Amino acid sequence: MEKNPIEAFFDKLASCIDEKVLIKLTISNQRSKSSDLQSIIVTLTNLKRGFRLNFVYRHTTRDITKNYEFDEGIGIIRKALTEDFFNADLFSNKEDIRLVSSPGGKIKLSIQKPTLQPVTEFHHDHIKSRLINTTGNIYLRELGIINANWEVRREMSDKFRQINRYIELIEPEIKDLTLPDDYQVVDMGSGKGYLTFALYDYLANRLGKIPVMTGVEFRDDLVKTCNSIAVKSKFDQLKFNSGTIEKVELSHIDILIALHACDTATDEAIYRGITSDASLIVCAPCCHKQIRKELNVTSALQNIVKYGILKERQAEIITDTIRAMILEAYGYRTKVFEFISTEHTPKNVMIVGRKTSKENPEKEKIFRDIAAIKSVYGINQHYLEFLLA
Ligand SMILES: C[S@@+](CC[C@H](N)C(=O)[O-])C[C@H]1O[C@@H](n2cnc3c(N)ncnc32)[C@H](O)[C@@H]1O
């Protein structure tokens, strides 16, 4: 007797999973057109704790990603195909399998030669569970990081790694913050928006807390492109504003980001964060020209600033130390650490301040300590201190 097509389909699916030849399963064509869930994409992923089925639930405005053990995942697929969707398209190294149900209850299974590039091994990208998904992520495609098959383009693999690293670092800082429902995230000097989109994606689709997010950038061309990508990606609460960090009007700021904003633009951004009482301030400073120009050392330390490159490094250390100290003075528990390896960019220090108290009782002492540092290096003023004065 010929096998029921549904059971034949699940036999095929089970063997594709067992043999690790499943490329992708797309479950689509909703039974109820009013459902917000548009489709489900299932792939195999190799995590530290072993192989799992990775599900991307594609909703109208956001994607939600989950990993399941094989049995649980197959159960979810079975339920989705009987209750929520009519079609399943399974792509494997061996064949393409299509299961189509009709509203009248007819079910058809068809099998064809494989059409997608076979998975030969689960290389590094698959092995590591990444916080940013490639499948279905339109902004990554529009930014040129992935190709039409949702795969990371070879020449953009460093950028993709950097984006994931950034989200990995920021995750523990954001996860347990108590934020209002309409919490506002501002990315100062958002540039091409790589990290702005990734953070919005993480907050909306991983954490399930959709932010009101603004990228601030004075280059109109970048703002225009980023706004159009946000629309295409259906990131409805992400807008890019062509203004300056100093002057942009914002009702409030809960999380302030400033990555590689040039020179004193980082100080302007920290200033906006502190004066808005932001819960979290994250910045990766860029060039440190202001303090470099001010260095005027006459003491025994003068040889430390004799050689150009060492002077530059000294200026970086002083600038960022004082930034961190000022954040502490304003009630931010502050960490300074390396963001990514220097082989990707030398601008790799990240300063993260988390608001823990309204006022630091040590504020005056901190400012005295800052004055002592400035005096040793003959510095007249640090720009952030000037802004706050
Ligand atoms: C080096 S890019 C970094 C872009 C992005 N944050 C990243 O890390 O990929 C710095 C961006 O900040 C913008 N920028 C610098 N100063 C600014 C200011 N005062 N107001 C607005 N945008 C500024 C620049 O136009 C540039 O696009």
pLDDT in tens, 68-100: 999 999 999 999 999 999 999 999 988 999 999
Ligand 1 pocket residue status of 217, Cβ below 6 Å:
yes
pLDDT for residue 223: 98
> 340-365, pLDDT tens digit by residue?
655 555 568 999 999 998 889 999 99
> 231-242, pLDDT tens digit by residue?
999 999 999 999
Instruction: Indicate which residue's Cα is closest to atom 1 of ligand 1.
Output: 260
Determine the distance separating the centroid of ligand 1 and the alpha carbon of 343, expressed in angstroms.
21
Q: What secondary structure, in 3-state letters, does 225-259 show?
A: HHHHHHHHCCCCCEEEECCCCCCCCCCCCCEEEEE
Ligand 1 pocket residue status of 247, Cβ below 6 Å:
no
Torsion, Cα 77 82 85 90, to 10 degrees, reads 40
pLDDT for residue 176: 82
pLDDT for residue 347: 66
Question: Does pLDDT of 128 surpass 70?
Answer: no
Average pLDDT over the chain, rounded to an integer: 89
Torsion, Cα 171 175 180 182, to 10 degrees, reads 40
pLDDT for residue 66: 87
pLDDT for residue 59: 83
pLDDT band at 127; cut points 50, 70, 90: very low
Taking each continuous run of H as one helix and of E as one strand, the counts in the chain are: 12, 14
> 303-323, pLDDT tens digit by residue?
888 889 999 899 999 999 999
Q: In what order do the strands lie in the sheet with 212-216?
A: 238-241, 212-216, 184-188, 255-259, 280-284, 349-355, 332-338
Among 146-150, 184-188, 279-283, the range scoring the smallest mean pLDDT is 146-150
pLDDT cut 70: percent of the chain above it: 94
Side chain identity at residue 9, one-letter code = F
| Token code pair at residue 83 | 């209750």
Ligand 1 pocket residue status of 257, Cβ below 6 Å:
no
pLDDT band at 205; cut points 50, 70, 90: confident
What's the rounded mean pLDDT across residues 262-267? 90
* Residue partners of 50: CB distance under 8 A and separation at least 6: none
| Token code pair at residue 293 | 């120009």
Instruction: Indicate which residue's Cα is closest to atom 2 of ligand 1.
Output: 191
pLDDT for residue 338: 84
pLDDT band at 14; cut points 50, 70, 90: very high
pLDDT for residue 130: 78
> 166-176, pLDDT tens digit by residue?
999 999 999 88
Ligand 1 pocket residue status of 191, Cβ below 6 Å:
yes
pLDDT for residue 339: 74
Which domains are assigned to the chain?
5-129 (no CATH), 163-388 (3.40.50.150)
pLDDT for residue 71: 92
Instruction: Indicate which residue's Cα is closest to atom 26 of ligand 1.
Output: 191
What's the rounded mean pLDDT across residues 273-282? 97
Nearest C-alpha neighbor of 286 from the set 353, 347, 215: 347
> 20-55, pLDDT tens digit by residue?
889 899 999 999 988 889 899 998 887 777 888 999
If residue 255 lies in a helix (H) or strand (E), which one and from where to where?
Answer: strand 255-259
Q: From residue 383, how far is each of 217, 244, 340 by CA, in Å?
A: 21, 17, 26
Ligand 1 pocket residue status of 260, Cβ below 6 Å:
yes
Question: Is the CB of residue 6 less than 8 Å from the CB of residue 107?
Answer: yes
Pocket test for ligand 1, best of 145, 166, 219, 241 (most atoms within 8 A of CB): 219
> 210-228, pLDDT tens digit by residue?
999 999 999 999 999 999 9
pLDDT band at 288; cut points 50, 70, 90: confident
pTM listed for this prediction: 0.71
| Token code pair at residue 110 | 């068809």
